[in-house]
Amino acid sequence: MAIKHDWTKEEILEIYNKPFMELLYEAASVHRQHHDPNTVQVSTLLSIKTGGCPEDCGYCPQAARYHTDLEGNDLMSVNQVKAQALRAKASGSSRVCMGAAWRNVKDGEEFDNVLEMVRTINKLDMEVCCTLGMLTENQAERLAEAGLYAYNHNLDSSEEYYKEVISTRGYQDRLDTIGNVRKTNVTVCSGGIIGMGESEADRAGMLVALSTLNPQPESVPINALVPVEGTPMEEQEPVPIWEMIRMVATTRIVMPETQVRLSAGRTQMSREGQAMCFFAGANSIFAGDKLLTTPNPDVNEDMEMFKILGLNPQKAFEKKSQPESVAAEKSKYQSQGEKPKWSRPEHKIERNLEAQQKARTKA
C-alpha cells in the first residue's frame, strides 16, 4: 500500500480523537503490517557537550539564559565516547545518539572531533546518530562520509505553536536542515514534544509537517515534556499517559513505516502504560539513566520489562545497511570554514523572558 503524503490537520485530528479502543486496534493493525511487533530498537543517548546553549527553548535546561543548576561540560574526547559506546553495546543498545548543546554546527576542530567519533562508533558495528543543531549541506555530506546512520533534528511542535516555545530560531531552519540531510544517504530522525501547553490541533500540525515530508522520517521521537525547575515550562502538568498513547497511535497510522520512538518522559510512565505504547506502534526507546539531562529508566529495568512483554532488541542495521566510514584524509568533502548565520526571529515570549529574569535575580 502506498504511503500517504498529503495528510491534513483535520484528518489527523479525526484519527487522534477516535474512540480509544478503536484507535488502538487500528494502530496495532498498521504496526503489524509494517513491523515485527515483538522487536524494539534500543538506543543510548550520550550528551557529548552539555549546557551553555545560546537558544531560548522554553523546555530546555541546557539554555544558558535559564538557571537550572545544570552541570555543563566541554566536548568529550573520542576515547571517552568510544568507552561509553562499548558500554551501551554491552547493555543491548544497537545505536548511539550523540547530542551537543550547539545552536548549529560550525566547521573547525570540534566538528572534526565529532566526525572522528562517528567513524569510531560506526567501526564498532553500531548505528550512529547525531543531534548537533542546524546543519549545512556540506556539513551533512561530511557526516555521511564519516559513517553517520541518522541525524536528529526535531520540529518540536506545530509551526504555529513553535513561536510560543522558541524565539531564537525559525521553523523553516529546521525544515532546511532536514532537507540538507536528505541530500545524503543519512536517515532522518525528527519528532517533537507534547505537554508544553499546546493544543490537540498543534499536535496534529506537527504530524502534518512530518508526514508530508517525502520520504517521511525513518524515525520519529515522541517526547513527553519533563518540566525542569528554572525553565519557562517548570510549572507544566505532566502529560496523562492516555494522551501519550493517542499520540503514538496516531503517529503510527500516519507514518506506517517509520520507527516511532518512545522518548523523554518514560520515568513517569508505568510499565502497563509503556506496554500500551508498544502495542499502539512504538518500536524504539532510549535506554540508559539519562536522556541528555533528564532522568530515564535504568537499562536493567528496561530489559526486565522487555522480558515480561516478550520483546527483543532490534539488531543494528536491520532497516538499512551499514554505511562505510571514509577516513578523514581520504574525504571528498572538506571543511569550508562555514560559520553559517541561521535566522533569529527574536519575537518576545513572555514566559521565556520571565525565566531569564528569574535566573538573573538568582545569579
**Catalytic position from the list 95, 97, 169, 266:** 97
Is 60 among the catalytic positions? yes
Per the annotation, the verdict on 277 as an active-site residue is no
Q: Is 103 a catalytic residue?
A: no
* Cβ atoms < 10 Å from Cβ of 272: 8
CA angle, 318 then 252 then 91, to 5°: 40
Q: Following CA atoms 82, 295, 316, 251 in sequence, which dihedral angle do they give, to the nearest 10 degrees? A: -150
* Set of cell numbers at residue 210: 512530518
Question: Do 327 and 120 meet the contact criterion of CB atoms below 8 Å apart?
Answer: no
Q: How far apart are CA 264 and CA 294, in angstroms?
A: 8
97 labelled catalytic: yes
State the catalytic residue, choosing from 189, 203, 246, 252. 189
User: Per the residue annotation, which of 95, 119, 174, 261 is the catalytic one?
Assistant: 261
Catalytic residue selected from 57, 142, 252, 266? 57
Question: What is the residue whose three cell numbers read 518540566?
Answer: 227
- 185 CB-near residues (< 8 Å, 6+ apart): 144, 323
Amino acid identity at 115: L
Please indicate whether residue 129 is annotated as part of the active site: yes
DSSP code for 330: G
Query: Are the C-beta atoms of 264 and 232 separated by less than 8 Å?
Result: no
Nearest by Cα to 247 from 18, 90, 86: 18
Catalytic residue among 95, 119, 129, 130: 129
Residues with active-site annotation: 53, 57, 60, 97, 129, 189, 261
